[in-house]
Amino acid sequence: MPRTLRSVATLLIFIVVVLGVGITMGVSNPPGEWYAGLDKPSFNPPNWVFAPAWTFLYILIAIAGWRVFERDRKGPVMRLWVAQMALNWAWSPAWFTLHWRWGSVAIIIALWATIAGFIAMNWRRDRVSALLFAPYLAWVSFATLLNVSLVLLNP
């Protein structure tokens, strides 16, 4: 937990930036008619599930990033955290706006790998940060299956 006012401020900045950019990416790249017209697999969740799921996950992601930043802001784990954020934010425009089907699959697989790498690199050093990423890894695993299924169902 934060012990100084500066640490609290840094945590709040992480949460605001991660949530703010995530929400902006979602609003700027809505599913729209293209997505609505795709054939969906039977396990496709309703659209309303995504906003609360991502809000929760973005808060966990921000806390994990803040914990790493407080420990080693220029280290390899922080660079991996930044990489996964860039991939996370790149996926929505690639899929919903550009309709870049296989490119979106490549992005989400790379995202999955960076999340798994973050967990592995943090497991011994900061188990809390690693565990904060566990629901994120589970969700992106499901999202990867969904993304690949949508591409295969809509050649």
pLDDT tens column, 98-141: 999 999 999 999 999 999 999 999 999 999 999 999 999 999 99
pTM: 0.93
d(CA 54, CA 56): 5
Is the pLDDT at 2 greater than 70? The verdict is no
Q: Confirm if 71 and 32 have CB atoms less than 8 A apart.
A: no
Q: Confirm if 68 and 129 have CB atoms less than 8 A apart.
A: yes
Q: How many structural domains is the chain composed of?
A: 1
Residue 99: CATH number of its domain: 1.20.1260.100
What is the extent of the structural domain holding 38?
5-153
Is the pLDDT at 34 greater than 90? The verdict is yes
Q: Confirm if 141 and 112 have CB atoms less than 8 A apart.
A: yes
- Which 8-state DSSP code applies to residue 48? G
**What is the mean predicted confidence (pLDDT) over 40-57?**
95
